[in-house]
A = this chain, B = another copy of it.
Amino acid sequence: MALGTDYPRQDCGIARSLEVVGERWTLLILRDCFLGVRRFSDFEAHLDISKAVLTARLEALVSAGLLTRVGRGHASYELTPEAIDLWPVLHGLAQWGDRLTSPGRPRRTFHHVGHGAECGLLGGDGRCTACGTAPLPSDIETRPGPGADPTLRDDPVSRALRAPHRLLEPLVTR
């Protein structure tokens, strides 16, 4: 763990979490993984992040056991079950940030889809407003919400994400 990123004398689960996902960019990289981003160049195009920092973060996430690197050479990065467990936290942060800065107009919405058919919208507590269950990421579809700003960026990842997309499914960017 690099200097300045850990909290060695905090006996607390939050501190342990932040040592893994608390650095700048790390949670946005994981968000992109949930949205289906897999490749170095796609992370780079979608986040305005320097290559050196992206390299360091991906390595840290792999060695923390949150990502696995698949294939030699031009690899792809995939979420491990431990990382998928973080979904409620990421969803909670997205909801809280939207409520705080864009009330009533979320930038992105998440929907429970069963076996093909849509069930309902996900509420602030991560539960489906129709059936009341808390669906797994693999049963969630995401779409741009009413607060989205389509003029903000125009990279291949952002373009692909303007269509509805199921979480964890690889994005097709070309």
Contact = CB atoms under 8 A, between A and B. Distances in A.
Residue among A28, A85, A97 having the largest count of chain B Cβ atoms under 10 Å: A97
A126 to B, nearest CB: 8
A165 interface: no
Given A22-B27, A28-B10, A92-B89, A16 B101 contact: yes
Contact of A92 (B15, B27, B92): B92
Contacts of A172: none
Which of A16, A31, A106 is packed against the most chain B CB atoms within 10 Å? A16
Contacts of A48: 7, 9
A24 interface: yes
A88 B94 contact: no
A108 interface: yes
B85 A99 contact: yes
B153 A17 contact: no
A13 B88 contact: no
Interface in A1-59: 4-5, 7, 9-18, 20, 22, 24, 27-28, 31, 47-48
A125 interface: yes
Interface residues of A, number: 48
Contact of A106 (B13, B22, B88, B108): B13
A12 B27 contact: no
B27 A24 contact: no
A28 B17 contact: no
A126 B91 CA distance: 14
A13 B149 CA distance: 12
Contacts of A60: none
